[in-house]
Structure 1
Amino acid sequence: MMSVIASNPLLNIAVISWFVAQVIKTALNWAANGHLNLERLTGSGGMPSSHSSFVVSLAIGMARVEGYQSPLFAMTLVFAAVVMYDAMGVRRAAGEQAKTLNHLIGNFQDFFEFLKDHPLLDFDDEEFSADADDDMTGENRKVLKEFLGHTPLEVLAGALLGILIAMIYPL
Structure 2
Amino acid sequence: MISFIPLRTGDLSAFFENPVFLSAITSLIFAQLLKAIIVLLKNTKKSAKEIVATLLWKTGGMPSSHSSLVTALATSVAFKEGIGSTLFIVTLCLALIVIRDSMGVRRSAGLQARALNLLGKQVGDRLNIEYHQVKEIQGHAPLEVLVGSLLGILIAAAFALL
Q: TM-score range by the shorter chain?
A: 0.7 to 0.9
Summarize deviations over 1:30-65 as a string: whole Å, max 9, x none.
111222422212111111000000000000000110
Q: Does 1:8 align with 2:22?
A: no
Is 2:29 the counterpart of 1:39? Answer: no
Query: Over residues 116-170 of structure 1, what are the superposed CA-to-partner deviations in whole Å (9 max), with x where a residue is unaligned?
Result: xxxxxxxxxxxx6xxxxxxxx27xx3x4333421011111010000001001115
Superposition TM-score, scaled by structure 1 size: 0.78
Per-residue CA shift, 1:66-92, capped at 9, x if unaligned?
A: 012111111111110111011110010
Structure 2 alignment gaps of length 5 or more: 1-6
- Give the equivalent residue in structure 2 for 1:161: 151
Number of residue equivalences: 146
- Is 1:29 matched up with 2:44? no
TM-align CA RMSD: 1.8
Matched, 1:62 2:62: no
Give the alignment partner of residue 84 of structure 1, picking from 75, 99, 109.
99
* Contact preservation (8 Å) 1:93, 1:149: yes
Report the Cα distance in structure 2 between the residues aligned to 1:102 and 1:31, rounded to whole angstroms: 27
| Alpha-carbon offset, residue 8 of structure 1 | 2.7
Larger radius of gyration: 1
Tell which deviates more after alignment, 35-44 or 10-19.
35-44
